[in-house]
């Protein structure tokens, strides 16, 4: 790496760190070009050259803070899988950390809860992938009674809604039990009442088998695709109806 490229990267990192500090301390209004330049020890034109405008800088800061949080979550899910931590306990712990992060970083949360920003955010995509991994562990254990993608959507929607509700409530009036109560409501919708040894009904069995299908080495690739198609049909059929109509 040349000195010029390194200097540019270091300058960009210093600006992002300075802006992140101002964002945490005082919100988006404090992230002015002059304020960030003073704290980072650079000239204002440098910010425009690297980020275009204030919105570009805010997006870079939000991505930076979110990426750090997601990196910690990725390490957590890997450690939980390696230590064979109960997948439900792991999901609950991750949920609480997500709520805490949103409340501790309201400006970042609001920036990244904008659908247009989320669609272009590598950190947000990685965060969803980590949630998918946690939900997949539940499915493989035979504890899901809905398709994995549906469970991920429900958990994500509930998390965003919970954080938004708490942030819109004056701090002294916030219900500290709301997060856990919402998680319980979602779990009641997506989980079986059974253990991993005894999945609850055909849908839970189909969800579990689909999660494990990549490991079915006795099947050819075509056979696995056909099996997944059948299992998806089972999991997406409303209770009390037949897959044939």
Which residue's structure tokens are 């939900």? 135
What pLDDT shows up at residue 76?
77
Alpha helices per DSSP H over 83-173: 87-104, 106-112, 115-119, 122-140, 148-167
For the chain, give the longest Cα–Cα distance. 68
What pLDDT shows up at residue 196?
42
Question: Of 60, 162, 31, 150, nearest to 101 (Cα)?
Answer: 162
Homologous superfamily, domain 1-52: Homeodomain-like (1.10.10.60)
What pLDDT shows up at residue 242?
47
Domain ranges of the chain: 1-52, 63-235
Q: Are 147 and 155 in contact (CB under 8 A)?
A: no
What tens-digit pLDDT sequence spans the chain (245 residues)? 443 444 888 899 999 999 988 888 887 778 888 899 999 999 999 999 999 888 788 888 888 888 888 888 778 777 777 777 899 999 999 999 999 999 988 888 887 777 777 777 787 888 899 999 999 999 988 899 889 999 999 999 999 999 999 999 999 999 999 999 999 999 999 998 744 444 456 766 777 767 767 777 777 888 778 777 777 777 776 544 544 44
3-state secondary structure of 191: strand
Would the pTM count as exceeding 0.85?
no
3-state secondary structure of 237: coil
152-189 burial, b at 16+ Cβ within 10 Å, e below that, comes to: bebbbebbbebbeebeeeeeeeeeeeebeebbeebbee
């Amino acid at each position: 790496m040349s000195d010029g490229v390194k200097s540019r990267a270091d300058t960009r990192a210093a600006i992002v760190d300075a802006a992140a500090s101002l964002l945490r301390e005082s919100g988006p209004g404090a992230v002015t070009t002059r304020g960030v330049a003073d704290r980072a020890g650079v000239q204002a034109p440098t910010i425009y050259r690297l980020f275009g405008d204030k919105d570009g800088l805010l997006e870079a800061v939000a991505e930076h803070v979110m990426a750090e949080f997601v990196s910690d979550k990725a390490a957590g899910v890997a450690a939980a899988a390696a230590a064979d931590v109960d997948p439900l306990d792991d999901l609950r712990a991750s949920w609480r950390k997500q709520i805490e992060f949103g409340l501790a970083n309201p400006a970042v949360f609001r920036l990244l809860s904008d659908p247009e920003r989320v669609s272009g955010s590598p950190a947000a995509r990685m965060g969803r992938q980590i949630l998918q991994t946690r939900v997949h562990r539940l499915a493989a254990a035979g504890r899901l009674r809905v398709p994995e993608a549906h469970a991920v959507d429900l958990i994500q929607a509930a998390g965003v809604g919970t954080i938004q509700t708490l942030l819109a409530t004056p701090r002294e009036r916030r219900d500290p039990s709301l997060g856990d109560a919402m998680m319980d409501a979602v779990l009641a919708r997506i989980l079986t009442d059974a253990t991993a040894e005894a999945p609850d009904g055909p849908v839970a069995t189909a969800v579990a088998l689909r999660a494990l299908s990549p490991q079915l080495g006795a099947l050819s690739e075509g056979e696995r695709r056909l099996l997944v198609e059948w299992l998806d049909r089972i999991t997406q059929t409303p209770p009390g109806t037949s897959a044939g109509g």
